[in-house]
Every structure is written in structure tokens, then in C-alpha cells.
Chains A and B, each alone.
Chain A
Amino acid sequence: MDLVSLFIRSAFVENMIFAFFFGMCSYLAVSKTVKTAVGLGAAVIFVLTVTVPVNWLLDTYVLQEGALSWLGSEYADVDLSFLSFIMFIAVIASIVQLVEMIVEKFSPALYGALGIFLPLIAVNCAILGGALFMQQKQFFSIGESFTYGFGSGIGWFIAVVAIAAIREKIRYSHIPPPVRGVGMAFILTGLMGLAFLGFLGF
């Protein structure tokens, strides 16, 4: 039950896009068509689901104060948490590299469509944000961090696919020239954020 509420919380209430505005750059850039949005959304789900638990392990058994006590009692007061940023980024970058190779191998069309944004997941703030929130929330088990990563990924996926579908729908609307393109995407994000505010306070 806790895991279910954690999942709903991470996917809707603390939606990466609408609550924290994380991962906006790729969100705005790939949401022109649903196809690319689904591709990148799936990649984000995968990367978040893998990196958050891995980073949790790293945090719990290496980085936290006293985390190294399994090595022996003389390491019990070592605090490596100042390394967490660099370690998290390294883990994320290597896993993104892995995803990139897999996508290139199995779906060259999607690889071409995603272009530069796939490697850019490595520096997508939603991914690092997921890892840092995980550290801040002090999860007790790998299951919790797994659920959190997966839920955040699903939230990002829903957001990006929903806006892509809307942008496809309004493609032939008579939008005033100054707000065409990214301007429209910002306004849409605002309106969607208004709709997502309903979950705030659950």
C-alpha cells in the first residue's frame, strides 16, 4: 500500500514536469510529434528506473556517513557524501550510454529521430533530480527507490506524450505568429500545470 501511494505520489502529485519543472529542455524539444515523445519518454522511464535504485545502493553502501562500515569498523566514520553529485552523474552517464547503444541497435529509426536528445538524457535534470530527491527522501529499501524512479519516469512520460498529442492537434490552428513553436509549448505547459494542480495536497 505504501508503495502504491509512493508510485501515485511520484507520478502525479510530484510530477517532474508540472511540480518541479525538471527536464524541460528535452520536454520542449521532442514534444513536436507523439512518436518521438513516446520514444524519449520510454528512455527516461528506463533510465530513471535503473539509475535511482543503483544510486540508492551507491548512496547507502558507499557514500553516506558510516555507509562503509561493512568494510570494517575503522571505516565507520568515513563520510563520502560530498562525492554524491559526481558519482550520481557518472552512474547516469554510463547507463545512458548503454541505452543509446541498445536503441541504436534495435531501433535505428527512433535513434535518428531522437538525435542529440538521447545522449542529453545524461544531463537531463529530471534524471539527476530523481537521484537527488531519492537521497533527500531517505528511502529505507531498494523497493522504494525502484518505485520512486519508475513512478517519476511514468509521470514524465505522461506529461511529454500528453503535450505532444496536444501539439499535434493544434498544428493547423491559427496561432498568432509571435507565440508559435516554443512559446506555445510554454503556454500549454502552464495550462497543463493548472490541471495537474488538482493532485497537489493528496
Chain B
Amino acid sequence: MKFLRNILNKQKEAVEGNEKLKKFWPIFDSLDTFAFTPNHTTKSGSHIRDGIDLKRTMMTVIIALVPCLLFGMWNVGHQFYLAEGTPDVSMMEKFLYGLIEVLPLIVVSYGVGLGVEFIFCIKNGHEIQEGFLVSGMLIPLIMPVDVPLWMVGVATAFAVLIGKEIFGGTGMNVVNIALTARAFLFFAHPTKMSGDKVWIDGHTGATPLGDLATIQKYQAEMSAAADAGNQGLVDQLGTQIAELSEKTPSVMEAFIGTIPGSVGETSALCCLIGAIILLWTGIASWRIMVSFFVGGLSMGLLLNVVGGDTSQFMGLDPITQLMLGGFMFGLVFMATDPVTASQTNSGKWIYGFICGFLAILIRIANPAYPEGVMLAILFGNVMAPMIDHMVISFNIKRRKKRLQIA
């Protein structure tokens, strides 16, 4: 520790003494406060003493993400060796394979994101805020493993620049940064990102959601063929559906997460561990989590009633539906982002419900996007200020009325 302090002190002298280096103060400052508790004091205005600051909040979220990250790495290796036909290799080997695949994504995401942030801070001359710590970890976790690194770089740069810095930096953004990065790639390079397939080193494997969407398509084709009296096609599609149906994971598999998918999203169990950490420390809002879950559940039940007989995707039991894909990951880490979610308590209920409801609706009703969580949360982010406005004006009206009665 002493050793680190000495190095930093030497840097401090260099930065403060040299006129030319002075503008790099934000970089030094961020490294310094990252390593040691800062002894800053408030210079003006109100003084609030609280043990938690932005940096600690961000670190807590990172800790909550660690189970997802570690499991994701193992799962990448697991899926790879499964596709190779040798699923019996040791756990360590699988983990190492995943580590080698995932680590570059993390490095690129942090490198590009922090680079953009540093440039902005030096240019504007204000201190670096740690908003990117979490986004930089979230971005690799919601990417398919084999996404080219330049794509990650471009998407991260876009998200940090257009999604955050232009709005004035950390805490001012309107849409979730990690989701902006993913949506950017999703629409700019749909072949890599559509959420129905994940590639692992040449082995193309459809995600369970992709399979279900295909089944839905086949079922529609089959009923059309049956109407037309084409018995050969009906039989052929029937066997294809049966083949795909066998691949649909059980609830337990989907819950543990040994299914193909983006790095961090597959395991509902790890997301739940993260959720417990976030809720226990009081960083994420339980209102959003509960209403998000209820929204997804009610949409799942509704679809069961509406189309349970005609389509296997709609008829999927709601719990399995919610365990698949990125629903749990979005619920725990994306929707609860305190900056982009609704600020008012009743607003949080509405916001969460809309996100969850839409996530399942887009997943099923939109054949082009078997994964709808990302777009649903982005939609919720965009609508959140309007929801807040409505809630507040409703409260004002109610209190005025109360005043009149009294």
C-alpha cells in the first residue's frame, strides 16, 4: 500500500508541478481516488455525510456482476466443448477457454469507453466520474462471445459519446448506455446480433429463443399447409418441429444457465445472486424488479390464454419464458439503473411493468426479434421522464384537492 502511495505521490508532484501536464489532472485524480479513499471536503453548499459515494455504488454493482461474469466464462467453454462433442473436459479447462474468449471483450470495452471519457474530462476540465465502470462491464456481458472486437469498440464509443457525454456525463444520460451499445450493433450489424444465434468458433448454435421463434414460424407454415392439403409438407415440418422441441431447455437448465446465449445473460441463478447483493445494499430498486417480473409474468400468462394451443412459443409456461434469454439479466442490472429509470416510487411500478410486459410481447409478437428485453427497456427509459411527469402532476392535483377539503 505504501509503495502504491509513493508512486501516486510522485505522479502528483509531476502533474501539479508541470504546467503542460496540468490538464491531465483528471486522469491522475481518478486513479488516485480509485486506489485510496479521497480526503476531499465539500467546498460550498450543503454538507451531507454518507458512507456511500458514486465510486462505491459502482463497485457494489460490479461485485454483483461477478457471479454472472464467472458463470458466463465457464458457460462459453462449456458450450464450446459441447459443440465439439467432448463435454467431459475439466471445469478448469472450460473456464480457461471462456476466459480467453471473454477477456478481450472486457479489455476493449473498458479501453475504448474510458478513453472517450478521459478525452472529454480533459477537454472540459472536470473530474472523471466513475459512471463507466459498470457500463464497461455490462457491455461485454450482453454481447455474443464471437462478436468482432472492432464492433465492440465502435458500439462502446457510440454509446459513451452519443448516449452519455453529449448529455453532460455520468448521471445525465437518458437511455441506458450498455443497452445503447447493444442496440447500435443490433441494428447496424443484425447478422451478428439478432439474438437468435450465438456463434462459438465456427459452431453455429441457435439460442433457445431462436429455436422457439423458428418453431413458431414452422407451426404457422404447417397450419397453412394443412389448410392447403399439402400432407407431405405438414409431415416434414412436423418432424422438424419435433427435433427443435427436443432442444428446448427445461426450466432447471434455463435457471442454472447451461444454455447458449450472450456471455452473462444465460444464468438466472447468477442474476438472482446479483439481485440479492443489489437489494441488500439498497442500490437497486425492489419496486422496479418486482413490477418488471410481474409485467413479464402477466404477459406470459396472457399469451398462454390467447395462443397456447396454436403456438409452442406462446404456450411456453411463463416461468420458463422468463428464465430464457436476457429477461432476468435485464430485470436485475438494466432496468434498475437509477439514472434512466423513473425517479418517483409510483413511477417505478409503472415503468417496470411496461418494460416487463413489452419485453415478452416483443419477443413473441415480433418474428424479427426473438429477444425483446433490450428494446423494451430502452422504450421504458425513453418513457420514464413522461411517467414521472404524470405521477408528479397527479400528486400535485391530489394534494390541492386535499387542501380544498380541509
Specify which chain A residues have a CB less than 8 angstroms from the CB of B336 in the assembled complex. none
> Once the chains bind, are B187 and A168 in contact (CB under 8 Å)?
no
CA distance A174 to B376 in the complex (A): 28
CA distance A92 to B283 in the complex (A): 52
**Which listed residue, A34, A166, A174, touches B174 by the CB 8 Å rule?**
A166
> Once the chains bind, are B168 and A191 in contact (CB under 8 Å)?
no
> Once the chains bind, are B368 and A201 in contact (CB under 8 Å)?
yes
B55 interface residue, CB < 8 Å from A?
A: no
Specify which chain B residues have a CB less than 8 angstroms from the CB of A161 in the assembled complex. 386
CA distance A79 to B172 in the complex (A): 57
Q: How many residues of B contact A (CB 8 A)?
A: 34
CA distance A192 to B183 in the complex (A): 12
> Once the chains bind, are A196 and B379 in contact (CB under 8 Å)?
yes
Specify which chain B residues have a CB less than 8 angstroms from the CB of A162 in the assembled complex. 382-383, 385-386
- Say whether, besides A165-B386, A166-B385, A175-B168, A195 and B365 are in contact (CB < 8 Å): no
> Once the chains bind, are B162 and A187 in contact (CB under 8 Å)?
yes
Instruction: Give B239 Cβ to nearest chain A Cβ, in Å.
Output: 28
- Say whether, besides A166-B382, A198-B375, A173 and B163 are in contact (CB < 8 Å): no
> Once the chains bind, are B389 and A198 in contact (CB under 8 Å)?
no
Instruction: Give A134 Cβ to nearest chain B Cβ, in Å.
Output: 25
> Once the chains bind, are A194 and B180 in contact (CB under 8 Å)?
yes
B366 interface residue, CB < 8 Å from A?
A: yes
A179 interface residue, CB < 8 Å from B?
A: yes
> Once the chains bind, are A174 and B180 in contact (CB under 8 Å)?
no
B169 interface residue, CB < 8 Å from A?
A: yes
Chain A, residue nearest B358 (CB): A198
Specify which chain B residues have a CB less than 8 angstroms from the CB of A120 in the assembled complex. none
Q: Which of A45-77 contact B (CB under 8 A)?
A: none
Q: Which of A157-202 contact B (CB under 8 A)?
A: 158, 161-162, 165-166, 168-170, 173-176, 179, 184, 187-188, 190-192, 194-202
> Once the chains bind, are A191 and B162 in contact (CB under 8 Å)?
yes
Specify which chain B residues have a CB less than 8 angstroms from the CB of A202 in the assembled complex. 365-366
Q: Which of B15-48 contact A (CB under 8 A)?
A: none
B104 interface residue, CB < 8 Å from A?
A: no
Specify which chain A residues have a CB less than 8 angstroms from the CB of B115 in the assembled complex. none
Specify which chain A residues have a CB less than 8 angstroms from the CB of B389 in the assembled complex. 34, 165, 168
B214 interface residue, CB < 8 Å from A?
A: no
| Chain B residues within 8 Å of A, Cβ to Cβ | 124, 162-163, 165-169, 172, 174-175, 180, 183-184, 187, 358, 362, 365-369, 372, 375-376, 378-379, 381-383, 385-386, 388-389
CA distance A202 to B369 in the complex (A): 10
**23 sampled A-B residue pairs with Cβ under 8 A:** A34-B389, A165-B389, A166-B174, A166-B382, A166-B385, A166-B386, A168-B385, A169-B385, A170-B172, A173-B167, A173-B168, A176-B166, A187-B162, A187-B166, A188-B174, A191-B180, A191-B382, A195-B382, A196-B379, A198-B358, A198-B362, A198-B375, A200-B368
CA distance A200 to B175 in the complex (A): 19
Specify which chain B residues have a CB less than 8 angstroms from the CB of A191 in the assembled complex. 162-163, 174-175, 180, 382
**Which listed residue, A184, A195, A198, touches B369 by the CB 8 Å rule?**
A198
Specify which chain A residues have a CB less than 8 angstroms from the CB of B379 in the assembled complex. 195-196, 198
CA distance A145 to B172 in the complex (A): 41
Specify which chain A residues have a CB less than 8 angstroms from the CB of B167 in the assembled complex. 170, 173, 175
CA distance A194 to B379 in the complex (A): 9
Specify which chain A residues have a CB less than 8 angstroms from the CB of B372 in the assembled complex. 198
| Per-residue interface assignment for chain A, residues 131 to 165, with 1 indicating a CB less than 8 Å from any chain B CB and 0 otherwise | 00000000000000000000000000010011001
> Once the chains bind, are A194 and B386 in contact (CB under 8 Å)?
no
The 3 A-B pairs at the shortest CB distance, nearest first, are namely A198-B375, A165-B385, A174-B168
CA distance A174 to B120 in the complex (A): 12
Instruction: Give B377 Cβ to nearest chain A Cβ, in Å.
Output: 9
CA distance A198 to B162 in the complex (A): 19
Excluding A166-B386, A197-B187, 5 further A-B contacts by CB distance (< 8 Å) are: A162-B382, A176-B168, A191-B174, A198-B375, A199-B362
CA distance A187 to B168 in the complex (A): 13
CA distance A100 to B57 in the complex (A): 52
Specify which chain A residues have a CB less than 8 angstroms from the CB of B162 in the assembled complex. 187, 190-191
Chain A, residue nearest B162 (CB): A187
CA distance A175 to B174 in the complex (A): 13
- Say whether, besides A165-B386, A166-B174, A201-B367, A195 and B381 are in contact (CB < 8 Å): yes
Instruction: Give A160 Cβ to nearest chain B Cβ, in Å.
Output: 10
Instruction: Give A30 Cβ to nearest chain B Cβ, in Å.
Output: 15
- Say whether, besides A165-B385, A191-B382, A194-B187, A199 and B366 are in contact (CB < 8 Å): yes
Instruction: Give B109 Cβ to nearest chain A Cβ, in Å.
Output: 19
> Once the chains bind, are A170 and B174 in contact (CB under 8 Å)?
yes
> Once the chains bind, are B168 and A197 in contact (CB under 8 Å)?
no
Chain A, residue nearest B389 (CB): A165
